Amino acid sequence: MSAAPTLDFGLGETADMIRETTSRFAADKIEPLSKKIDEEDWFPTELWPQMGELGLHGITVEEEWGGLGLGYLEHCVAVEEVSRASASVGLSYGAHSNLCVNQIRRWGNDEQKAKYLPGLISGEHVGSLAMSEAAAGSDVVGMKLKAEAVQGGYILNGTKFWITNAAYADTLVVYGKTGEGSGGITAFLIEKDMPGFSIGQKIDKVGMRGSPTAELVFNDCEVPDENVMGPVNGGVGVLMSGLDYERAVLAAIQLGIMQACLDTVLPYVRERKQFGQPIGSFQLMQAKVADMYVALNSARAYVYAVARACDAGLTTRFDAAGSILLASENAVKVALEAVQALGGAGYTKDWPVERYMRDAKLLDIGAGTNEIRRMLIGRELIGAA
């Protein structure tokens, strides 16, 4: 239950039902594991089939393919509630359900959907997406992973880096170079047991611990023609079209973190006493809480509006970037204020706010840095002027 009153954004009966179901599951099944997940950098694979039973992995997938046939708004609500209990689970869930499942739903052919979606939607399988490389982050089109055409398929050589869910993924959407420049990239569906594919270095992160991040290694990896997803040399279109939805959905992680901050801070300032009275009675503390609440709801309004635009086919690239820019920066500020509100207690491992602070920082960087987001927004607006 929320420690604060919440504004009714009028998201609709279906979104409210998704929130209620996901919130109850997250409170009962995810939140009790959140401390262990963080401290041990542990990925709780047993949650995946349980989330599959609730339909959470296939929210945006049409019913004919085993999904719920709902939209990005409902998906954002689910990510928000999962992330409220554990942002690292929220990140892995977003990578699975949006970056992998939703891309297969959007770009896979009927045979690919029939082969890969059932296991991913049920939670029997874990999904991942691999764009970035050690030397190709913001400049993702500068990737070097080479996909050489051979009889019956392709041979992949190279590496991917910073890949969420990598070590546990059964199915991965991977982008490789099949030609020169931006017109020479193709998307492939990779299975974990394909010859020549392996997991390399595992990355130890400051935050989002328990959401596994690793390197992918391709050493003469054999990929059949039927595992090409989308048009050959059309991978940039696949990649870029998915980024708008990725940014909108992953922005909801930050909403969950901010709500978790308020869930912790409000009871604390009501009960903690100094100078003979609750610290929440002091105007400076009231101002701090007010700023946290406004930061959360302003980000919610933008993220929900962009998600609705995605569902209506009306979103813009700069608004998708803008929603995650606002949510990410607000979440970092709110998490820092949560630590400050708890004082010395907030700087210990006894309280979860230090974890919220570490987790919040990731999306200032991941899914396109805030610098790239600002550049994209400014360029698009000036170009449209």
Catalytic residue list: 246
33 in Cβ contact with 44 (< 8 Å): yes
The whole-angstrom separation of Cα 82 and Cα 98 is 14
- Tracing tokens 């050589």 back to the chain, one arrives at 157
- Tracing tokens 């939805």 back to the chain, one arrives at 245
CA torsion 184-188-192-196 (nearest 10°) is: -40
Both tokens of 66, joined, read 């085993």
166 in Cβ contact with 199 (< 8 Å): yes
The whole-angstrom separation of Cα 159 and Cα 130 is 10
The whole-angstrom separation of Cα 93 and Cα 359 is 15
DSSP sequence for 249-281: HHHHHHHHHHHHHHHHHHHHHHH-EETTEEGGG
Both tokens of 157, joined, read 């050589």
The whole-angstrom separation of Cα 229 and Cα 107 is 6
The whole-angstrom separation of Cα 252 and Cα 85 is 13
- Reported residue count of the chain is 385
The whole-angstrom separation of Cα 80 and Cα 265 is 18
Q: Are strands 171-177 and 127-130 parallel, antiparallel or unpaired?
A: parallel
Sorted by sequence, the CB contacts under 8 Å of residue 317 that are 6+ apart come out as 243, 244, 376, 380
